[in-house]
Amino acid sequence: MSKFILEIGTEELPARFFPRLSDDLGKAVEKGLSEALIEYGTVETFTTPRRVVVMVDDVAQTQRSEEELVSGPPRRIAYGEDGQPTKAALGFAKTQNVDIADCFIQETGKGEYLAVKKTMGGGNSIDLLAGICAAAISGLQFPKKMRWGSGDFGFGRPIQWLLALLDEQVVSFELAGVKSGRQTWGHRVHGAGPFDVSTAADYQNVVRDQCKIVLSRDERSETIRKEADELAAAAGGSVVWKESLMVEVVGLVETPVVIMGDFDPSFLEVPREVLLSSMEGHQKSFGVEASDGSLLPHFISTLNLEPKDRSLVKKGWERVLRARLEDARFFWKADLDAKVDDWLASLDNVIYLKGLGSMGDKTRRLETLCGALGSQIDSNLKEDAARAGRLSKADLVSEMVGEFDELQGLMGGIYAEKRGEPQAVADALYQQYLPAGPNSPVPTSLFGAILSMADKADSMAGCFGLGKVPTGANDPYALRRAALGIIRIILAFDLKIDLGELLKAAQDTYKGINWKLEPEEIHTQLMDFFAGRLKAYFTGKGYETLVVEAALGAGFTDLCALARRVEALAEFSRRDDFGQAVLTFKRAANIIIKQGNADGVELTGGYDPTLFEDDQEKALAARLDEIGPTWDKLWAEADFASLLGLLGELRPDVDAFFDGVMVMCEDETLRLNRLNLLQALVSRLGRLADFSALQV
């Protein structure tokens, strides 16, 4: 077994390319090897700013041999009446590169066909790897591709070299005018190269010892963390780690060297969030904090080389950061001197979304919607909730957010505190954009939850009204994320909010908009959209699709009740008698669906016991009457598991009813009475789940 290495050397690639790039290259090479019938072992991928590498152990020297049956034309076409092969048969043999004598008649389910058995594989791996490499590289996708030279080939950045070895043999191919070989290049300062790699097994040693490159992302990350933690500890603090920044920094360096810089303690008057944003966004550096969480006047930066004079480099980083912090302090002081009423007035000059008015219009809508939501939850919340809605976008016209747009909302909360707004209002502004993604935390403040829901509902109502509905993977206004955010917030806070009423209220706050759809159609589309998001949410939690669909079919305006019904139905589905219960209740539901209105009379679920003739219908009616009070009590308590258990106890009576009673009898009065008896049952079923959606 052999070792294979493929290295794509490039100009510096953006760090954001790497997570997907390494996975895609590894999968492409694995796919190529598998399709070529080449057996292999472990596959590893590595990335540095100037290279993407895939390393494969235990590669077979030759292809695996497999016998393949290839079918040709039907017998009646392959042979003439004289028994001689026709042109069709001879053409098939020629196409398969075999003699006609090697072909035979194969009996299939569709009849007799001419066929041949061919042995696939057996070739040398070295001959096939060239095509595998070229295809794997050509198939890589990037957010943006560059083209260079006179060709049409595109890649994330221009390819400078290609190294491809199977043990000591070069895998020869050419791509974008670059021929593969055994040379690699190293660190631009500490080991530029080129360096020859004699065998694939020597590659990592050459890269480490001669190129002076740390190939492993994990090793680079560990080095940065270890050195940074030591420097921060020596200064009496700890590093403020940000994982997304860490991923980026690891992708920016091939040979990490960590330094700690300092800044004037007077800058600590600027909010922590601003200081960290300056360090992280502009300088790709980490902050240092004390044990109480307050920032210390230090920062951690990562270099891509070992400088001759660390103190000189440190001063350079400090000088650049100082300029950034001076700007931040200027913005901070200017914003503190500004009047919030002036900011609110300025929002009327900021377009929210074409066709939906200004940001000023949006804040007035949010004031109304937040006040209504707060009042619905608790009348004492209305005033602060409405105030939070009014101030929610004021910081968008601040100096600070103009420079650091990632701080919108956060600065609104900080400025609200400084201006003496209630803490509830400040918390709401600070958390209004949470959750920022499917795994992002939801607001911890109830007021933050109210504002976040209102903001998202307002955006969804407006976009849907203008026909800006997500299609496929296209969701430019992040409406799927908004819907998921509303779902997660309602469930996290166990809020008794009617989803339909929330969306209707959001629609009603818009005034004077030229909608592309009628309000009723907008609302229907919004609810359908939420049904899809709820299905994705619960199936993503591991619930079976049919269980989720059945629970959704019973209604979903009360999300907390829906979540409990999904869980109860999932538990019920694990019972031994679940299958029989589903069949029984589906039968009842289907009769009502198909026959319920056949006579032109609306079924109400009200029946006349004096019209019952059979013991089974009398028994079912008696059981329904008997469980009525218990049912109502359990429903009020949202004890859906017990309600489903109660239905399970009722099933024998329903089975007996179907076995002994002719529902669709000739007598119209009896028929309607029996249908209403079933309607009384189905109406209870329908509040729990749409049993017709279940399959067993």
Query: Stretch 143-166: mean pLDDT, rounded?
Result: 90
Query: Stretch 25-42: mean pLDDT, rounded?
Result: 92
Query: Stretch 84-113: mean pLDDT, rounded?
Result: 90
Structure confidence at residue 443 as a pLDDT band (50, 70, 90) = very high
pLDDT score of 599 more than 70: no
Query: 319 Cβ partners below 8 Å, 6+ apart?
Result: none
What are the tokens at 17?
A: 């390319």
pLDDT score of 299 more than 90: yes
- Model pLDDT, residue 259: 97
- Model pLDDT, residue 539: 96
pLDDT mean across residues, the chain: 91
pLDDT score of 82 more than 90: no
- Model pLDDT, residue 598: 58
CA 353 to chain centre: 25
- Of 91-95, 108-112, 415-419, which has the strongest mean pLDDT? 415-419
pLDDT score of 42 more than 90: yes
Write down the domain spans for the chain.
2-62+124-209, 68-120, 217-337, 359-396+418-536, 564-693
How big is the chain by its Cα radius of gyration, in Å?
35
Q: At what angle do helices 615-636 and 640-660 cross, to 10 degrees?
A: 170
Structure confidence at residue 18 as a pLDDT band (50, 70, 90) = confident
Residue 211 backbone phi and psi in degrees, to 5: -75, -20
β-pairing verdict for 286-289 and 104-108: unpaired
- Model pLDDT, residue 665: 83
Greater confidence, 693 or 480?
480
Query: Using CA atoms in the order 160, 163, 164, 166, what is the torsion angle rounded to 10 degrees?
Result: 180
Give CA–CA dist 610/666, Å, rounded: 18
β-pairing verdict for 159-166 and 178-181: parallel
How do residues 536-558 score in pLDDT, each as one tens digit?
A: 999 999 999 999 999 999 999 99
pLDDT score of 597 more than 60: no
Give CA–CA dist 445/454, Å, rounded: 14
The percentage of the chain sitting over the pLDDT mark of 90, rounded to a whole number, equals 67
Say if residues 168 and 202 touch (Cβ distance below 8 Å): no
- Comparing C-alpha atoms, which of 524, 522, 523, 556 is closest to residue 538? 556
User: How many helices (H) and strands (E) are present in the chain, helices listed first?
Assistant: 26, 18
Say if residues 262 and 279 touch (Cβ distance below 8 Å): no
CA 377 to chain centre: 31
Number of residues that this document lists for the chain: 696
Query: Stretch 43-52: mean pLDDT, rounded?
Result: 95
Residue type for position 307: P
402 DSSP 8-state letter: H
pLDDT score of 600 more than 80: no
Report CA-CA distances (Å) from 423 to 378, 415, 416.
17, 11, 8
Which helix (H) or strand (E) segment holds residue 148: the answer is: none
- Model pLDDT, residue 67: 79
Place of tokens 């917030």: 489
- Model pLDDT, residue 217: 93
Angle at 311 (CA atoms; ends 309, 317), nearest 5 degrees: 110
Query: Stretch 468-487: mean pLDDT, rounded?
Result: 92
Residue type for position 497: I
What are the tokens at 364?
A: 């007035």
483, burial (CB in 10 Å: exposed 0-12, middle 13-18, buried 19+): buried
pTM of the full predicted structure? 0.82
Give CA–CA dist 522/458, Å, rounded: 13
Quick check: helix, strand or coil at residue 241? coil
Query: Stretch 418-428: mean pLDDT, rounded?
Result: 96
pLDDT score of 601 more than 70: no
Give CA–CA dist 640/569, Å, rounded: 8
Half-sphere exposure of residue 154: CA atoms within 13 angstroms, side-chain side: 8
What is the sign, positive or negative, of the torsion defined by CA atoms of 259, 264, 265, 266? negative
Which helix (H) or strand (E) segment holds residue 133: the answer is: helix 125-138
Query: 604 Cβ partners below 8 Å, 6+ apart?
Result: 676, 679
Q: Residue 87: how many CB atoms within 10 A of its CB? A: 10
Say if residues 676 and 617 touch (Cβ distance below 8 Å): no
Give CA–CA dist 493/527, Å, rounded: 21
Query: Stretch 609-618: mean pLDDT, rounded?
Result: 84
Q: Say which CATH class 564-693 falls into.
A: mainly alpha
Structure confidence at residue 438 as a pLDDT band (50, 70, 90) = confident
- Model pLDDT, residue 679: 85
Give CA–CA dist 536/430, Å, rounded: 29
